[in-house]
Amino acid sequence: MKKTLAILILFLLPIIASAKPTYRITVQIDGATDSTLLLGYYYAQNRFILDTARNNGRGKFVFESEKELYPGLYFFTNNNDRLTEFIVYKEKPFFTLHTDNSAWTMKMKVKGSQQNDIFFAYQKESESVYQQIDSMRTKLDSASFADYQHRQHLRIDSIKNHYINHYPNAMFARMINATKNVDELVPVEHPDGTKLTDHERYMWYMHHYFDFIPIDDDFIIRTPKPVFYQRIVDYTDKYMRGMPPEEICPLLDTLLDRAEPANQVFRWLLHHLTEKYLQSNIMVYDEVYVHLVQRYFATGRAPWYPPSAIDEQVERANKWERLLVGREAPELVLFDTLRRPHSLHRLGGKYTLLVFWSPTCGHCREIIPAIYRAFDQLADSLNLTAFAILTEPDDHTVGKWKQFLADHHITNPRWVNLNGGEANIDWREVYDITTTPQIYLIENDKHTFIAKKLNADLFRQICKQLK
């Protein structure tokens, strides 16, 4: 036994000895008073702490680990939120940052990193201009100071452009360039001189929104919130707001396809967009979720997800595809409280409100009376019917269901209450009923969905349009 253990130890020693750090970042702060420094990084909208280094007693802090440092903007900070940023990009992360405790950034000297030489040179130039602005704040009257401040900000813009033009491949220059936008570049005319319509100009803007942002480079995900994350949020939440799925899907495809070479960016972006449209309460945006899953998950372009997670996404998307606005509602045949059968496709009327709900669901207890009142007021004028299904048809819930119907006077004969216990299909599976209430509006001539994800207010608005 001892001999076997000795052989095992001898076998492992070369492996242990060969383990080398993947980064070693030395921070020397003359006159440092902090006992520890923290190493952190930006990621999308957040900041995270990655490592800790202790003062060796002479102001030397060494961050060292076998963990991989991805490209991006990092920082070291103390426990009092004093912070200095630095770059990790296309260089081995083995370098030294040497400064003085009186001014971490302005007195920084870099050894072993050209990327950080460029970065700190810019910071010192721009910071000196900001210091000049502060020094003049109390020396000039408000009008003169405003003019002076404007001229100094133009100087800062000039400094930025200098670094962008002279160091186009430096991460810092690419990050600064990414903050530019294309607003002033939107054309007014076609090449033949005819005027662009407002919609054409808007679509040009959407197609060129990311022209300055290197979304195909992994560093961009590890930058402060305004540089990348906020631009993505503005693009999808502000500028895409109200766009139909047939315009949104090609734009997202262009964005994702361009980002795909940058694994870290692509992973975050695909997850962010998929979750956004999975959780969207805008009825037609289910189509965007279905498109993303079928184009990227179902085709093997998201290999970092566990197979079970991919299967779950694909299965849900395939169900949702059958339930999109404009698709035919799957037929349902169920029994009412008197054991009489009813068919969804033969219910009569011009429109049918299809409702999945239960009195044990707190949200249902709030939504159902409100939507019933709207239905009751509009049923005759719009020739509406309702196909309302109890989703928990157990003996315990059926009594509560009947009591709820009586308590809230849900008695309109056009509103048909149905027990979900017996049906022609597994409606829970076919209609993907994982939460309640789920409410659809169906046009009865072709049995197609014309609205979904309804509440009382939205139902009233749609009925007003139908009138």
Mean pLDDT of 305-330: 96
Of the candidates 381, 442, 444, 371, which has an alpha carbon nearest to the alpha carbon of residue 410?
A: 371
Please indicate, yes or no, whether residues 303 and 342 belong to a single structural domain of this protein.
no
For residue 435, what pLDDT is reported? Answer: 93
Residue 85 lies in a domain: yes
For residue 432, what pLDDT is reported? Answer: 94
Q: pLDDT above 90 covers what percent of the chain?
A: 89
Residue span of the structural domain in which 229 resides:
184-321
Check: CB of residue 108 under 8 Å from CB of residue 97.
yes
Confidence of residue 173 (pLDDT cuts 50, 70, 90): very high
For residue 236, what pLDDT is reported? Answer: 97
Please indicate, yes or no, whether residues 191 and 315 belong to a single structural domain of this protein.
yes
CA angle 455, 415, 375 (to 5 degrees): 40
CA angle 197, 202, 205 (to 5 degrees): 130
Q: What CATH number does the domain containing 130 carry?
A: 2.60.40
For residue 299, what pLDDT is reported? Answer: 97
Q: What CATH number does the domain containing 424 carry?
A: 3.40.30.10
Confidence of residue 5 (pLDDT cuts 50, 70, 90): very low
Please indicate, yes or no, whether residues 231 and 302 belong to a single structural domain of this protein.
yes
Residue 16 lies in a domain: no
Residue 243 has pLDDT above 60, yes or no: yes
Mean pLDDT of 83-97: 97
Confidence of residue 337 (pLDDT cuts 50, 70, 90): confident
Q: pLDDT above 70 covers what percent of the chain?
A: 96
CA atoms within 13 A on the CB side of 442: 28
Distance between CA atoms of residues 256 and 273, nearest Å: 10
- Predicted TM-score (pTM) of this structure: 0.87
Mean pLDDT rounded to a whole number for the chain: 93
The residue length of the chain stands at 467
The pLDDT tens digits of the residues spanning 310-321 come to 999 999 999 999
Residue 305 lies in a domain: yes
Residue 103 has pLDDT above 50, yes or no: yes
> Per-residue DSSP letters for 197-261?
PHHHHHHHHHHHTTTTS-TTSGGGGSS-TTTTHHHHHIIIIIISTT--HHHHHHHHHHHHHHHTT
Helix, strand, coil percentages in the chain from 3-state DSSP, rounded to 5 = 45, 20, 35
Residue 145 lies in a domain: no
Please indicate, yes or no, whether residues 234 and 301 belong to a single structural domain of this protein.
yes
CA distance to 28, 84, 167, 341, per residue, from 97 (Å): 6, 10, 21, 78
Confidence of residue 2 (pLDDT cuts 50, 70, 90): very low
Residue 13 lies in a domain: no
Cα dihedral 210, 215, 221, 223 in deg (nearest 10) = -60
Please indicate, yes or no, whether residues 419 and 456 belong to a single structural domain of this protein.
yes
Please indicate, yes or no, whether residues 364 and 297 belong to a single structural domain of this protein.
no
Confidence of residue 338 (pLDDT cuts 50, 70, 90): confident
Residue 11 has pLDDT above 80, yes or no: no
Confidence of residue 19 (pLDDT cuts 50, 70, 90): low
Burial of residue 16 (CB within 10 Å: 0-12, 13-18, 19+) is exposed
For the chain, the C-alpha Rg in angstroms (whole number) is: 31
Of the candidates 50, 54, 44, 55, which has an alpha carbon nearest to the alpha carbon of residue 23?
A: 50
Residue 176 lies in a domain: no
**Residue 80 vs residue 296, higher pLDDT:** 296
**HEC profile for 392-420?**
CCCHHHHHHHHHHHHHCCCCCCCEEEEEE
Please indicate, yes or no, whether residues 317 and 346 belong to a single structural domain of this protein.
no
Last residue of a domain, one of 321, 341, 366: 321
Total domains in the fold of the chain: 3
For residue 80, what pLDDT is reported? Answer: 84
Indicate the helix (H) or strand (E) that contains 386.
Answer: strand 384-390
Please indicate, yes or no, whether residues 85 and 192 belong to a single structural domain of this protein.
no
Please indicate, yes or no, whether residues 249 and 312 belong to a single structural domain of this protein.
yes
Residue 144 lies in a domain: no
Please indicate, yes or no, whether residues 295 and 246 belong to a single structural domain of this protein.
yes
The pLDDT tens digits of the residues spanning 416-467 come to 999 999 999 999 999 999 999 999 999 999 999 999 999 999 999 999 999 8
Last residue of a domain, one of 271, 286, 321: 321
CA angle 291, 249, 433 (to 5 degrees): 40
Confidence of residue 255 (pLDDT cuts 50, 70, 90): very high
Of the candidates 359, 349, 367, which has an alpha carbon nearest to the alpha carbon of residue 405?
A: 359
Distance between CA atoms of residues 121 and 159, nearest Å: 10
Last residue of a domain, one of 135, 151, 175: 135
Please indicate, yes or no, whether residues 290 and 416 belong to a single structural domain of this protein.
no
The pLDDT tens digits of the residues spanning 138-168 come to 899 999 999 999 999 999 989 999 999 999 9
For residue 20, what pLDDT is reported? Answer: 84
For residue 81, what pLDDT is reported? Answer: 84
Confidence of residue 79 (pLDDT cuts 50, 70, 90): confident
Q: What is the DSSP letter of 297?
A: I
Please indicate, yes or no, whether residues 300 and 340 belong to a single structural domain of this protein.
no
Residue 176 has pLDDT above 80, yes or no: yes
Both structure tokens of 162: 């200098």
Residue 152 lies in a domain: no
